[in-house]
Structure 1
């Protein structure tokens, strides 16, 4: 099992209540329906208001690294990534559990 963790930091001037942020969140919530390789999916805006904290968090699980790499290249995932331009920066990490 591979756990994929992504931390998003909204760009200056963008709030979690903005239309673009909410559209991004809606698209994120829809990815498991579009990508059957996803085993588990939890995402949302951070509940802690702190300048050092990420603004949005994703924790996803995949059966193995092949499924994770297939997810990276899936058209639905690439479309959501395109929404990040001008919205947020991200960091990610993957662990085998």
Structure 2
């Protein structure tokens, strides 16, 4: 199994309640039911307010590297990424477990 972690940081001046951010969150929340490769899916806002903290996180799992690539290439994932690209940056980590 591969764990796929993503941490998002909203760009300066972007607020969580902006319509484009709300739409981006909804797009990501829906992925768990849209992409069959996902064996585990959760995402939500960070609940702490520290200067080094990121704002939003995705924690997911897929079977193997092929499944990870299919997830990354999936049109629903690509559509969500395109939305988030407008208002955030992110870092990822993928590891076997």
Q: TM class by shorter-chain length?
A: over 0.9
- 1:45 is matched with 45
- 1:32 is matched with 32
SS of residue paired to 2:60: strand
Gapped runs of 5+ residues in structure 2? none
The alpha-carbon deviation at position 32 of structure 1 amounts to 1.6
Gapped runs of 5+ residues in structure 1? none
Structure 2 distance, partners of 1:85, 1:61, is 22
How many residues are paired up?
Answer: 97
User: What stretches of structure 1 move > 6 A for 4+ residues in a row?
Assistant: none
Structure 2 distance, partners of 1:80, 1:29, is 10
Cα distance per residue 1:5-57 (max 9 Å; x no partner): 00000001111122111111111111122111100111011000112100000
